[in-house]
Amino acid sequence: MQCIFCKHDSNDSRSIEHIIPESLGNESHILPKGVVCDKCNNYFSRKVEKPFLDLEVMKILRFHQIIPSKRGNIPPVEATIGSNYPATVIKRMKDPYLFSIELCPTAFEYAKNTKEGKVMIPAGAPLPVGPVVSRFLAKVALEAMAQKLIKNPAGIEYLVNEIQLDSLRNHARYAQNNEWPFYSRRIHDPDKLWINENGNKVQVVHEFDIFKTEVGELYFVLSIFGMEFAINYAGPAIDGYIQWLKDNDNASPLYYGKNSESLIKGKTED
């Protein structure tokens, strides 16, 4: 077997690969040993997934949605107290509805001497941009395709050898084509509740799909708590996706066509 990223022999690899990081609540979308080699697995954890999880918007989202890291820690967020004194707000999994506040000496003196105890915690942050996001999307996109092909050994071999995927592969693994455009928007509120197949109300943590336009372009579409991202499998261009949105009243491919009948499909529920 060859790794789908570096294409080196991966028969001795011991690590399974989480398509979506565990720190985003993923326990089900997993590739077996060898699809991604141990070296690439370790690289992605440090150089691709961690920078994405450390983005301000992701830390604030995980803080409010109480999504711990693999070690069980909820990321703290930077807040303000009073007019503009900095504060760090910390939640712990043992009681996530209580929080503690760390203050610098100046902020502590203010808090001690004032009768007001108002702490301003950010509700969100702008949608992220740049290669931290595009490399994460490229990594997840190729692994999502591997997940669809995993039951067919010839499918994984195709994925390794398909030269049209090399640009995406090398962007994820080697930071080539560093300016790789992607599309992002918010398609629903992070606290939105859905009705699943059993009639229960659930919150969707993340969902993704591979989407082919009428002109044959292939895109990967990912939503994390309603933040939707799209990236082109074939190369660093997003114009075709934007045109598809214009032609289809800005519908989300995650709820369009074959996906329109099922609101819960390949999603992680909370």
Going by C-alpha positions, the residue among 188, 237, 209, 229 that lies closest to residue 55 is: 229
Q: Are 164 and 217 in contact (CB under 8 A)?
A: no
State how far the Cα of 226 lies from the Cα of 48, in Å rounded to an integer: 21
pTM metric for this prediction: 0.91
Model confidence over 101-137: pLDDT tens digits?
Answer: 999 898 888 888 887 778 899 999 999 999 999 999 9
Model confidence over 154-176: pLDDT tens digits?
Answer: 999 999 999 999 999 999 999 99
Q: What is the dihedral of CA 20, 21, 25, 29, to 10 degrees?
A: 40
* Residue ranges covered by each domain of the chain: 17-55+128-259, 69-120
Going by C-alpha positions, the residue among 252, 245, 238 that lies closest to residue 181 is: 238
Model confidence over 205-227: pLDDT tens digits?
Answer: 999 999 999 999 999 999 999 99
